[in-house]
Amino acid sequence: MNPLQYILPIIGGAISSIIVYYYIEVRHRRKFETYVRIEGEYKSQENEKVTSMVLEVMSILNQKREELIANNIQNIDEQLISFYNSNFENSTDKRRKEDALVVRKRIRFYNLCGLFIKKGMVDEDLLFHLIGGGFDIARKDLWVILKARRKYFNKSGLYNHFEYLWNRYDWWIEKLEVFQIENACR
């Protein structure tokens, strides 16, 4: 009997285990690093300015929405899309054009977050705890703006990971509510 017959499989198994462990650790580290980068971007001073401009645009859109509802206008989304395009994207006012650019940056940020979740590059739970509140507040108006962009460029799939983020966020909220109900019953 050759002792290598017994030793080689043990060494091979140990090496395989080390490789798998290393792969899992590297993957977790990359997820965490991606989360830290997103957190840094989301909490940056520049992002604070973006948030205030997005809130300003949202306020204007909400006023228009309320006006359309009060006047019993049909196709409110289509009206809001036209309103947004004429007052922001196609505006002659330099400030309004800058606002539109800033809002697009926020949509791109959320689109990127959706991509990261879809590809498993960041933990969904951590990400939604970070961006969930802001996303929940802004998503309805950003959705109108996204539809305006899609119509403007005639690209129905433009920023499609924004939609993925929306759907995953809704699922996450439902899961969180069920979890809270289950814990409240204990």
pLDDT, tens digit, 9 for 90 and up, residues 160-185 = 999 999 999 999 999 888 877 777 66
Per-residue pLDDT at 2 exceeds 80: no
Q: How confident is the model at residue 19 (pLDDT cuts 50, 70, 90)?
A: confident
**Nearest residue to 129 (alpha-carbon basis) of 159, 171, 172:** 172
CB neighbour class for 49 (10 Å; exposed up to 12, middle 13-18, buried from 19): exposed
Q: How far apart are CA 170 and CA 128, in angstroms?
A: 10
pLDDT score of 166: 95
> How many CB atoms neighbour CB 114 within 10 A?
22
The three-class DSSP label of residue 167 is helix
What does the pLDDT look like over 149-161, one tens digit per residue?
Answer: 898 889 999 999 9
Q: Which pLDDT tens digit goes with each residue over 117-126?
A: 999 888 899 8
pLDDT at res. 21:
72
Q: Which residue has the higher pLDDT, 171 or 11?
A: 171
Tally helices (H) and strands (E) across the chain.
Answer: 6, 0
Contact (Cβ atoms closer than 8 angstroms) between residue 147 and residue 81:
yes
Considering only residues 122 and 10, tell me which one the structure prediction assigns the higher pLDDT.
Answer: 122
Q: 116 CB contacts (<8 Å, ≥6 apart)?
A: 34, 38, 122, 127
Average pLDDT rounded to a whole number, residues 72-80 = 90
Q: How far is CA 184 from CA 71, 172, 180, 181, in A?
A: 44, 18, 6, 5
- Tokens 């007052």 appear where? 87
Lowest-confidence segment of 13-17, 36-40, 132-136 by average pLDDT: 13-17
Q: What is the mean pLDDT of residues 73-96?
A: 90
Residues in the chain: 186
